[in-house]
Structure 1
């Protein structure tokens, strides 16, 4: 590490001892200095974790590979089962006739779909998340996707 990369790494306990007079470096005085420096040391620790969280956020973007990596790092670090498909839904809508149109009432096999699953008005990408992750933290998954996705992009979450 160079000096420029180490400007944020300060060991305040060591610094206080090194800046004190040599004759005063006894156990009682060092303990007093450590007690006085503890709030500053705790604040520095919080700042370092906040800084590392922000650097992680800056390293990831809305691209599919980075978004998938951020989701897997947060929610499924060991198995990495969360996947993202670049395509949205591709189902065709089925029109249900009104009684006034005098059409047949038998529709055959019919599936109810979300409006985002249709090809023309559908989502821009699909996120496949395991069911147990969605049961535990569905709001956090949505919040993380909303944080990283590009503005105007629509998505659909499918539980696997």
Structure 2
């Protein structure tokens, strides 16, 4: 499938030219006349590769993150997409009348923490679906990054940028 648009101009000229006209002068003349097609073909190939690359990205987090890193931070790949990690799931609700669920052994004493108080859980402000964390050196390209993310993100999804 990759070779469907590819052709060899010299071979094509030789095959399509009548036998009685196949001399070096005529072959060179037709190749010279058709050399503009090589330029057009090279531009078409470049466009096709770019279009296939752009079609490989979509609104999924992993592909969107890959796209941003490919375009804006190709060497260090420091751009990350963070989602709200506070799911609102309750382990135990007293109104349900269920027995409490312990997540530690009864032989352990003291208070058990699932996380440190200083950890940032990425709680996003209301109305924000995801946050793009990028290095501060890319803050000048925020408008272009915003336009690119809007192109690939699902409709209705909201996001913001944090440059650290």
Tell me the TM-score normalized by structure 2.
0.65
- Aligned mates of 1:43, 1:132 — CA distance in 2: 38
Query: Helix, strand or coil for the counterpart of 1:153?
Result: coil
Contact 1:17/1:25 (<8 A) preserved: no
Contact 1:134/1:141 (<8 A) preserved: no
Q: How does 1:3-152 map to 2 (within 5 A)?
A: 4-20=1-17, 24-26=22-24, 28-87=25-84, 119-121=125-127, 123-135=128-140, 137-152=141-156
Q: Gapped runs of 5+ residues in structure 1?
A: 89-116
Q: Greater helix share, 1 or 2?
A: 1
Given the superposition, is the C-alpha separation of residues 25 and 74 from structure 1 closer, same or farther in structure 2, using an over 3 Å criterion?
Answer: farther
- Aligned mates of 2:137, 2:23 — CA distance in 1: 56
Q: Gapped runs of 5+ residues in structure 2?
A: 86-122
Deviation at 1:79, TM superposition (A): 0.9
How many pairs are equivalent?
A: 126
Query: Helix, strand or coil for the counterpart of 2:77?
Result: coil
- Residue 153 in structure 1 maps to residue 151 in structure 2: no
Query: Helix, strand or coil for the counterpart of 2:59?
Result: coil
